[in-house]
Structures are given as structure tokens and as C-alpha cells.
Structure 1
Amino acid sequence: MNELDFSGKQVLVVGGSSGIGNGIAQAFRARGARVHVCGTRANASDYSPDDGSHLEGLQYQQLDVSDPHAVEKFKPSFDRLDILVLAQGAVIYRRGEFQMDGFRKVMEVNLMSLMACATKFHDMLARAGGSLIIVSSTAAYHSTMGNPSYNASKTGAMGLTRTLGEAWAEDGIRVNGIAPGLVDTKMTKVTTANPKRLEGALERIPLKRLGTPQDMAGVALFLASPLSSYVVGQTIIVDGGLIL
């Protein structure tokens, strides 16, 4: 038996149109799952591989989780769900998160929408004996001086993972999380596109390389599989050793 065969499973990756979420979506698709992804743009054709988007073989629906009512109104194109991955994320640089509107915007995407999506699909996951995976960040474990909302929201995401893990275990839903370190995506270009910053970052990573969406996907596959059947409420740090 291959525990990493997801044939016949239905997966939804919110934030699956690019970056880490997209890498996770394609990993499930490659192992037989039918994978749905949500992103902010109107159509799949509005994304390109230059954005870190590879949508071939994925079912796309628009969902802008920065709108607090969008999740409630969302009508999924499926009626069964085995695995829900919440990979949505936002950050505002240049001290924008020190303004309350910026702080709220990031909090809405990175924390409020996690609870909205989790509760929206709770019943489907319970019927399937399914798995919920929340993508947070190693920012949950240390300060990120210029980004108070990003930090607070990712710390909150880790707490939410723990608490839903305990609360929903009796419903047959296993809730766990992934805390990526520095992964090469559109969102981290502020570091990766700056040679001096990149060099400094790589010096701090014992593996001496950036993470990839595929590195994160390997852990997501594990957390959704029978291999992790006794793992509940945990957030696994996937950072090449960065925060050691």
C-alpha cells in the first residue's frame, strides 16, 4: 500500500494559485487527487508561470479572502472534501503594517480568513474524516521588526492550529500546520531579489539554500496521509534549520 497515493481524494488549496500553495496543489495532483485551488484573480488564465503559477490540471475558482464576507458567499464546485490546505497570505512592507488599515488588511487574510475557511468546510471534512493543514510561518517563533501584523497573524495561525486540532479531533478531522522559513516565492522577492539580503539570509540557513514550494509540499503530503495518523495540532517547522 502506498500511503502517499491520493487517488480518489478531493483537495482544496486556498491560496493555491501561486507560491507555496501552488506547489502543494500540484504535489497532490501528481499523486492522483482531484485538486481545486482558489486565488484572487477572476480566471486561471489571469495567472502566468512568471507569477510562480502552474494551474494545469487544477480546478480554479476565484475567492478573495481579504473580503470578510467572501468566504460565506463562496459556492464551491464540489460537495465532498477530504483535504483542506489554507495557504493564503499577505504582507505589507515599508512599515505599512504600523498603520491600522494595513494591520487589519494583513490580519484579515492571514488569520481571520483561516477561521472563516475552516468553519465553512468543517462539515465536509468531518464527513470525510479529513485533514486540515494551515500554512503559517517561522515568523510565529521570532520577531519580524518591520511587520507587526504579519507576525501577530502567523503566531495566531499557529495557536489556531493547536486549538482546532484539539477541538475537532472528536469530529474525525486532523488539524496540523506547516511553518515555512525563507521560501523562494513572489512574496519573498524583497529578500531574494536583493543580492546582499539574500547572501545574509543564506548564511543563516544551515542547509545554505532557500526553501522551495516543493519542500513545503512534501510535509503537506505527510500531514494529509495515514503516515501522520497520530499527529494532531502540530505545526512543523520547514526552514532548512533557519531558526535553530
Structure 2
Amino acid sequence: MAGDTDFTGKRVLVVGGSSGIGNGIAHGFRLRGADVHVWGTRVDPSDYDPADGSDLSGLAYTCVDVGDPDGIAAAPLPFAGLDVLVLCQGTVVYKRGEFAREGWDRVMAVNLDSLMHCANKFRDQLSAAAGSLITVSSVAAFSAQVGNPAYAASKAGAVSLTKTLGQAWAPLGIRVNGIAPGFVDTKLTKVTTEHPERLARAMERIPQGRMGTPEDMAGAVLFLASPLASYVTGQTLIVDGGLSL
């Protein structure tokens, strides 16, 4: 069983791997022997604040704004081949900003459109390696999200895209799956975690009684990318401590 999660020699790209959930996933693969490259939005790795859950030690880095399709197309391939592609990019606009065109367009571009653009960019490499593509959506895909229509719609779209690519690309040798995280302590959830009353209300809804961690999410992704999940295709695994029950 231990050998099934040994990624020694595997080439892994984590889009959005510069902080938060993506960073936890990147280090999960790194600690199990993989060569890991991450894409982030800041010019230099030193621009990231460790207080935001950023640790780029042992990871290669490229600045790519995935909200720009041309930026994705122009980005250099991180490896000559690719075994695992994790699409963990994501953004949100609070204070009802997603009801306006600018907020809606930006969130949809990053959270949904870029998934397809990145997937297409690496399709041939993943097919050649009989590799794995893993999306990171959210439990927000499965319920209304007051104040965040673009976030909810984009995450629901990611779940549907995972099903469709799973079906379409299985004949190419690519397994496409995803995870749907619940409430994870990252910079995107500070709107809740930095307010004790909001945090207490959120915790009451989680049967396990705690927030998730990037490491929790990494465990699910490692499973889906491993031979242990060799017959799993097109699925989105909910990883939320029971929040959505």
C-alpha cells in the first residue's frame, strides 16, 4: 500500500500551488518523491507571505495569470512530460462584487474557464504519460452561496467539467477526477476565520468539529492520483468533515 503513494520520479504541476490548499497539495507530492512545479500569480516566489500559507521551498515556480487565456498559452511547459496536473486555482469577490460584471467575469475566468484552458494545454503530455488530472472545486458547488453567485456557479461548473473530461479523456489514458473541499483555513476564508462569531457558527455545522487543513486536501488528491484510484474516473470527492451532510 505504501508503494501506491510513492511518486518518486513523477512530474507534477500544481496550478495555484503557491499558497493555501494548493501549496499543501504541492508539498504532499514533494514529500513523496515527486518533482513538483507550481504556478502562481506573483512575479517572484519571495513575494509570497508565509503567514498566508505559502512555502515554496523545494518547489519550482512560474508566474502565470490563469485568468488570461493568452497567459496560459504562452507559459512554458514545466517538464518534458507530465504525470499529474492539479488545478487548484481559485478566487472570490466579497461584498456582493460578483453580481457586477467585473467581479463575475474575473471569478469565472479564474475558477472555471482556466480549468479548460490548462487541461487542453497539458492534454497531450498527460495522455503520453497515462497521467491524472485533478480539479479542486468546493462544496459551494452543491448549494446556494449568498453573495457569491460567480463562486458558486464556477465551482458547480468545475464538478460538471470533471465528469465530462473524465468521460472524454479516459480513452486517451487520462484519469480526470476532483475534490470538493469544505471549510479550510486559508487566506480565502479569513472573512470567516478572523471573526470569532462567524467562525463559531461555521464550526457548529461541521460534524467533525474542526476546520479542514491543506494537508487533509492533499491526502485526497494523493489518493486520486495514485494507483489506489486506478478505476475512479470523473468523480469529485467531497472532503469536508461532514459539512454537507
TM-score bracket for this pair, using the shorter chain length:
over 0.9
Superposition pairs for residues 1-244 of structure 1, below 5 Å?
A: 2-244=3-245
Other structure's SS at 2:42 match: coil
Query: What secondary structure does 1:178 align onto?
Result: strand
Q: 2:13–2:78: 8 Å Cα contact kept in structure 1? A: no
CA distance in 2, matches of 1:34, 1:201: 36
Is the deviation greater in 75-84 or in 115-124?
Answer: 75-84
Distance between the aligned counterparts of 2:79 and 2:134, measured in 1? 19
- Equivalent residue letter for 1:195: P
Separation in 2 of the partners of 1:125 and 1:101? 34
* Counterpart residue type for residue 169 of structure 2: W
What is the deviation of 1:48? 2.4
Secondary structure of the structure 1 residue equivalent to 2:135? strand
Shift of 1:55: 0.5
Measure, in 1, the Cα distance between the counterparts of 2:206 and 2:40. 30
Q: Which amino acid aligns with 1:93?
A: Y
* Superposed displacement of residue 50, structure 1: 1.0
Inter-partner Cα distance in structure 2 for 1:76 and 1:48: 26
1:67-97 C-alpha deviation (Å, 9 max, x unpaired): 2311111112311100000000010000000
Q: Deviations over 1:99-147 (max 9, x none)?
A: 0111010000000000000000000000000000000000011000110
Give, in whole Å, the separation in 2 of the partners of 1:193 and 1:207.
20
**Equivalent-residue separation in structure 2 for 1:101 and 1:89 (angstroms):** 16
Deviation at 1:162, TM superposition (A): 0.3
Unmatched runs of 5 consecutive residues or more in structure 1: none
Q: CA–CA distance in 1 between the matches of 2:117 and 2:127?
A: 16
Q: Secondary structure at the match of 1:3?
A: helix
Write the letter of the residue equivalent to 1:102: G
Q: How many Å separate the matches in 2 of 1:4 and 1:97? A: 39
C-alpha distance in 2 between matches for 1:174 and 1:86: 14
Q: What is the CA–CA distance in structure 2 between the aligned matches of 1:34 and 1:218, rounded to whole Å?
A: 17
1:121 is paired with a residue of what secondary structure?
Answer: helix
Moved over 6 A (4+): none
SS in 1 for 2:238: strand
